[in-house]
Amino acid sequence: MYIINKTSKIGRVFPDNSPKGSDEGDEGFLYDFEDSHISDLASTIGINAMLGKNVLSLGDSGVCVEVIFTQKSGAEGKIEFEKYVKDFISITKEALPSMSKEYRDFYNHFVEDYEKNGLQMF
Protein backbone atom coordinates (compact mmCIF):
# COMPACT_ATOMS: atom_id res chain seq x y z
CA MET A 1 0.00 0.00 0.00
CA TYR A 2 1.79 3.15 1.21
CA ILE A 3 4.60 4.44 3.39
CA ILE A 4 4.70 8.07 4.59
CA ASN A 5 7.69 10.03 5.86
CA LYS A 6 8.43 13.66 6.64
CA THR A 7 10.75 15.12 4.02
CA SER A 8 12.76 18.25 3.35
CA LYS A 9 11.55 18.20 -0.26
CA ILE A 10 9.08 20.94 -1.15
CA GLY A 11 5.65 19.62 -2.05
CA ARG A 12 2.47 21.11 -3.38
CA VAL A 13 0.01 22.35 -0.77
CA PHE A 14 -2.67 19.76 -0.06
CA PRO A 15 -5.47 20.38 -0.30
CA ASP A 16 -5.15 23.45 -2.45
CA ASN A 17 -7.66 26.21 -1.90
CA SER A 18 -9.61 25.82 -5.13
CA PRO A 19 -13.21 26.91 -4.56
CA LYS A 20 -15.98 24.48 -3.60
CA GLY A 21 -17.53 22.97 -6.70
CA SER A 22 -14.43 23.71 -8.76
CA ASP A 23 -13.26 21.22 -11.35
CA GLU A 24 -9.68 22.38 -10.84
CA GLY A 25 -7.13 21.39 -8.24
CA ASP A 26 -8.53 19.40 -5.34
CA GLU A 27 -12.10 20.37 -6.28
CA GLY A 28 -12.98 22.28 -3.15
CA PHE A 29 -11.94 19.51 -0.73
CA LEU A 30 -10.68 22.14 1.71
CA TYR A 31 -14.22 23.50 2.01
CA ASP A 32 -16.28 20.30 1.71
CA PHE A 33 -14.91 17.68 4.08
CA GLU A 34 -17.47 17.44 6.90
CA ASP A 35 -18.82 14.03 5.79
CA SER A 36 -15.37 12.59 5.03
CA HIS A 37 -13.44 10.14 7.19
CA ILE A 38 -9.71 9.56 7.67
CA SER A 39 -9.87 6.61 5.26
CA ASP A 40 -11.16 9.01 2.56
CA LEU A 41 -8.30 11.46 3.10
CA ALA A 42 -5.64 8.74 3.35
CA SER A 43 -6.90 7.09 0.15
CA THR A 44 -7.02 10.42 -1.71
CA ILE A 45 -3.43 11.18 -0.73
CA GLY A 46 -2.42 7.61 -1.62
CA ILE A 47 -3.98 7.86 -5.07
CA ASN A 48 -2.12 11.13 -5.62
CA ALA A 49 1.09 9.24 -4.77
CA MET A 50 0.27 6.55 -7.32
CA LEU A 51 -0.15 9.32 -9.91
CA GLY A 52 3.25 10.80 -9.14
CA LYS A 53 2.08 13.59 -6.83
CA ASN A 54 3.77 12.02 -3.83
CA VAL A 55 5.36 15.02 -2.08
CA LEU A 56 2.79 17.15 -0.30
CA SER A 57 2.81 20.07 2.09
CA LEU A 58 0.26 19.59 4.87
CA GLY A 59 -1.72 22.73 4.25
CA ASP A 60 0.28 25.88 4.91
CA SER A 61 2.22 24.36 7.82
CA GLY A 62 5.52 24.03 5.99
CA VAL A 63 5.60 20.34 6.95
CA CYS A 64 6.06 18.18 3.87
CA VAL A 65 5.52 14.46 3.53
CA GLU A 66 6.54 11.96 0.90
CA VAL A 67 4.15 9.09 0.24
CA ILE A 68 5.55 5.97 -1.40
CA PHE A 69 3.30 3.44 -3.13
CA THR A 70 4.64 -0.05 -2.35
CA GLN A 71 2.21 -2.24 -4.35
CA LYS A 72 1.58 -4.52 -1.36
CA SER A 73 -1.92 -5.96 -1.12
CA GLY A 74 -3.98 -8.41 0.89
CA ALA A 75 -3.29 -8.80 4.60
CA GLU A 76 0.20 -7.33 4.24
CA GLY A 77 -1.20 -4.28 2.43
CA LYS A 78 -3.90 -3.79 5.07
CA ILE A 79 -1.31 -3.77 7.86
CA GLU A 80 0.85 -1.32 5.90
CA PHE A 81 -2.15 0.95 5.21
CA GLU A 82 -3.02 1.01 8.92
CA LYS A 83 0.57 2.01 9.77
CA TYR A 84 0.55 4.64 7.01
CA VAL A 85 -2.60 6.22 8.50
CA LYS A 86 -1.21 6.08 12.05
CA ASP A 87 2.04 7.73 10.89
CA PHE A 88 0.06 10.31 8.89
CA ILE A 89 -1.97 11.24 11.98
CA SER A 90 1.20 11.56 14.07
CA ILE A 91 2.86 13.86 11.52
CA THR A 92 -0.36 15.87 11.14
CA LYS A 93 -0.64 16.42 14.90
CA GLU A 94 2.88 17.86 14.89
CA ALA A 95 1.98 20.19 12.00
CA LEU A 96 -1.38 21.46 13.35
CA PRO A 97 0.00 24.31 15.51
CA SER A 98 1.74 25.92 12.53
CA MET A 99 -1.32 25.85 10.24
CA SER A 100 -3.73 28.68 9.56
CA LYS A 101 -7.23 28.18 10.97
CA GLU A 102 -8.58 27.09 7.59
CA TYR A 103 -6.12 24.20 7.23
CA ARG A 104 -6.07 23.42 10.96
CA ASP A 105 -9.87 22.93 10.89
CA PHE A 106 -9.52 20.66 7.85
CA TYR A 107 -6.76 18.44 9.22
CA ASN A 108 -8.08 18.45 12.79
CA HIS A 109 -11.38 17.04 11.49
CA PHE A 110 -9.51 13.94 10.30
CA VAL A 111 -7.36 13.66 13.44
CA GLU A 112 -10.52 13.76 15.58
CA ASP A 113 -12.25 11.24 13.31
CA TYR A 114 -9.31 8.85 13.69
CA GLU A 115 -9.17 9.31 17.46
CA LYS A 116 -12.92 8.79 17.83
CA ASN A 117 -13.60 6.08 15.23
CA GLY A 118 -10.24 4.59 14.34
CA LEU A 119 -9.65 3.57 10.75
CA GLN A 120 -12.92 2.50 9.21
CA MET A 121 -12.63 1.18 5.70
CA PHE A 122 -15.92 0.90 3.87
The CA distances from residue 66 to 2, 18, 77, 78, 113, in Å, are 10, 22, 18, 19, 23
Per-residue pLDDT band for 3 (boundaries 50, 70, 90) equals confident
Instruction: Flag whether 29 is in a domain.
Output: yes
Q: What is the mean pLDDT of residues 87-98?
A: 96
The answer to whether residue 17 scores a pLDDT higher than 80 is no
Domain limits at 43?
Answer: 2-117
Instruction: Flag whether 85 is in a domain.
Output: yes
The answer to whether residue 56 scores a pLDDT higher than 80 is yes
The answer to whether residue 86 scores a pLDDT higher than 80 is yes
Residue 116: its pLDDT value, please? Answer: 95
Q: How far apart are the first and last CA of the chain?
A: 16
Residue 22: its pLDDT value, please? Answer: 47
Residue 33: its pLDDT value, please? Answer: 80
Instruction: Flag whether 38 is in a domain.
Output: yes
- Contacts of 39 by beta carbon, 8 Å cutoff, 6+ apart: 85, 119, 120, 121, 122
Instruction: Flag whether 44 is in a domain.
Output: yes
Give pTM, 2 decimals.
0.85
The span from the CA of 20 to the CA of 102, in Å, is 14
Q: What is the mean pLDDT of residues 37-44?
A: 89
Greater model confidence, 85 or 70? 85
| Total of domains in the chain | 1
Instruction: Flag whether 122 is in a domain.
Output: no
85, 42 in Cβ contact below 8 A? yes
The answer to whether residue 63 scores a pLDDT higher than 90 is yes
